[in-house]
Amino acid sequence: MKLFIDTADPKEIAKLAETGLVDGVTTNPSLAAKTGLDYVESLQEICRTVKGPVSAEVLATETAGMISEGRRFAKIAKNIAIKVPLTWDGLKACRALADDGLMVNVTLCFSPVQAMMAAKAGATFISPFIGRLDDAGQDGMELIHEIRTIYDNYDFKTQILAASVRGIPHVRGAALAGADVATIPPDVFKSLLNHPLTDKGLAVFLADARKAGVRIREE
């Protein structure tokens, strides 16, 4: 499963990209507002840092405006994915942008039928919001399972991008359910390797090495 970082902070992304484990980035105007930086300038910097898809979200709500904004975003870099909402206007824009050969991320998906419609519209990515479904008392992870089944039934190429990820259980569940991508807040990404037994085991190894006087000599 690919791991995207869900932030618009270029410095945070650059730091995490040093791990070699960041496959892409998702942004939106709300995340950009938190940085206090110009959205387009942030996207330019992020695209220089990360070679994988970088989602840039349109602000328009009608088809023509989405297409216009999407085409402007696409000029920033070749790895820009245009993020549009899962509305009728959004899907019409998705089809037009996809026909232009551009990557499109259809966001705010909350049902498997919505995901099917986005795939038919040519979406590169579909973004089901699992955390928000959980907040509403529904099973967000079940949505990933259902979308996976529909896409496999009809050989849709749209990638399932698990969004609204709240913690490691969501990452684990998305991977087991067959999501192609999970987009993860920086703090969750940093916690993915955490396990008390790993820390304990490393401490024991190092203590044993010190007791035994183990050294690794340089050549």
Domain boundaries along the sequence of the chain: 2-192
H-type alpha helices, 75-129: 88-99, 112-120
Tell me the two tokens of residue 76.
């920033």
Alpha carbon dihedral 145, 148, 154, 159, in 10-degree steps, equals 160
Quick check: is 83 catalytic? yes
Options 78, 83, 92, 190, the catalytic residue:
83
Residue 48: Cβ within 10 Å count: 13
215 Cβ contact list (under 8 Å, min separation 6): none
Q: Could you tell me whether strands 24-26 and 2-6 are parallel, antiparallel, or unpaired per DSSP bridges?
A: parallel
How wide is the angle at C-alpha 131 spanned by C-alphas 192 and 173, nearest 5°?
50
Question: Dihedrals φ, ψ of 102, to 5°?
Answer: -95, 150
Per-10-residue mean pLDDT for the chain, 219 residues long? 97 97 94 91 96 97 98 97 98 98 98 98 98 96 98 98 97 98 97 89 81 78
**Alpha-carbon 113 to chain mean position:** 21
* pLDDT tens for each residue of 81-105: 999 999 999 999 999 999 999 999 9
For the domain spanning 2-192, the CATH number is 3.20.20.70
Angle of helix 39-49 relative to helix 10-17, nearest 10 degrees?
10
* pLDDT tens for each residue of 175-200: 999 999 999 999 999 999 988 898 88
Tell me if the pTM is above 0.85. yes
